[in-house]
């Protein structure tokens, strides 16, 4: 595991004290890269005293306006989720997720997303992820404090690192770097545009097409060369469609 390649990303945190609690949980487990997406209040005194001896993590935190900015250069994105989704996504518990996180972070930028205190990550945000992480709490009281959730995932990553029991990923020694989240966003926009051009997708009644296609490509994980090939195919398809309509 390379801790410098792991970003803990908090999306629209409401309570500043939770940011301090997260910083402390991270430092306990050797993680230092914190990104805050449009926090309601930051910096704030409550965050500082909750951080205890992890104030340095907060002082070095990156504050951005959008999730796109937060994960633009990340190649593997994990989103934490407690809810079942209309369209199922690849999901694992914190321990299995830690195996993937530790393996990928050795050579790739990894982001672990944590959502709002009251409702977590939105469906649109979860669709940006390669994998969903579910913490199987007891059904009588499933609610977890934000810092507690970060602590659990960070702990599992720490244990995988210490015990050297990382899973052997099929793509551990891939020959081409994997596409970043920013590149994938451009690809999805291009794909949707091309599908509209060939009249396969009706923008007035899109149904779940793009959501399912995002799930497909996020599950497979495209490398840079594969992405360029697909973008080239889309471009030529659009050219053909344009000539036929003239």
Tell me, what CATH number does 55's domain have?
3.40.1280.10
DSSP 3-state assignment of 81? coil
Residue 119 clears pLDDT 50, i.e. is over it: yes
CATH number assigned to the domain comprising residue 214: 1.10.8.590
> Containing H/E element for 98?
helix 94-105
Confidence of residue 151 (pLDDT cuts 50, 70, 90): very high
- Within this chain, do residues 139 and 17 fall inside the same structural domain, yes or no? yes
* Peptide linkage before 43 cis (omega within 30 of 0): yes
Please give the residue range of the domain that contains residue 236. 181-245
Quick check: 245 pLDDT over 80?
Answer: no
SS3 state of residue 23: helix
CA dihedral 123, 127, 132, 137 (to 10 degrees): 0
Q: What is the pLDDT of residues 191-200, one digit of tens each?
A: 999 999 999 9
Same-domain status, 185 and 150: no
Do 193 and 98 lie in one domain? The reply is: no
Shared domain for 207 and 88, answered yes or no, is no
Helices 94-105 + 146-163 axis angle, to 10: 60
**What is the predicted pLDDT for the residue at 146?**
94
d(CA 120, CA 62): 20
Is 11 strand, coil or helix?
strand
User: Phi and psi at residue 167, in whole multiples of 5°?
Assistant: -70, 145
Q: What percent of the chain has pLDDT over 90?
A: 67
Distance, CA of 30 to CA of 54 (rounded, Å): 11
The verdict on residue 173 lying in a domain is no
Domain count, the chain: 2
Is residue 168 in a domain?
no
Are residue 39 and residue 143 in the same domain, yes or no? yes
Residues 52 and 94 in one domain: yes
**Per-residue model confidence (pLDDT) at position 170:** 53
Does 65 map to a domain?
yes
For residues 187, 188, 193 and 197, what is the CA-based torsion angle, rounded to 10 degrees? 90
Q: What per-residue confidence (pLDDT) applies to 110? A: 97
- 168 bridge partner residues: none
Which of 191, 202, 35, 212 has its CA nearest to residue 123? 212
Q: Is the pLDDT of residue 24 over 80?
A: yes
> Has residue 66 been placed in a domain?
yes
Is residue 169 domain-resident? no
Other residues' Cβ atoms within 10 Å of the Cβ of residue 86: 7
* Average pLDDT for 221-237: 94
């Amino acid at each position: 595991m390379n801790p410098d390649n792991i970003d803990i990303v908090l999306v629209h945190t409401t309570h500043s004290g939770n940011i301090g609690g997260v910083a402390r949980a991270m430092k306990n487990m050797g993680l230092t890269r914190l990104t805050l997406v449009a926090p309601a209040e930051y910096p704030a005194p409550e965050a500082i005293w909750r951080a205890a001896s992890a104030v340095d993590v907060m002082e070095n935190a990156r504050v951005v306006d959008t999730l796109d900015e937060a994960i633009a250069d990340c190649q593997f994105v994990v989103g934490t989720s407690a809810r079942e989704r209309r369209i199922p996504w690849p999901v694992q518990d914190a321990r299995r997720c830690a195996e993937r996180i530790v393996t990928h972070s050795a050579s790739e930028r990894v982001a672990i997303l944590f959502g709002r205190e009251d409702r977590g990550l939105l469906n649109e945000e979860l669709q940006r992820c390669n994998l969903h992480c579910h913490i199987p709490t007891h059904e009588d009281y499933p609610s977890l404090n934000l810092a507690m959730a970060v602590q659990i995932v960070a702990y599992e990553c720490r244990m995988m690192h210490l015990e050297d029991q990382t899973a052997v990923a099929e793509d551990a020694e891939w020959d081409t770097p994997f596409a970043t989240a920013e590149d994938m966003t451009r690809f999805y926009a291009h794909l949707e545009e091309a599908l509209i051009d060939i009249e396969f997708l009706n923008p007035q009644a899109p149904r779940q097409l793009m959501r399912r296609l995002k799930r497909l490509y996020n599950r497979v994980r495209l490398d840079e060369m594969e992405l360029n090939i697909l973008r080239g195919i889309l471009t030529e398809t659009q050219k053909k469609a344009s000539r036929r309509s003239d």
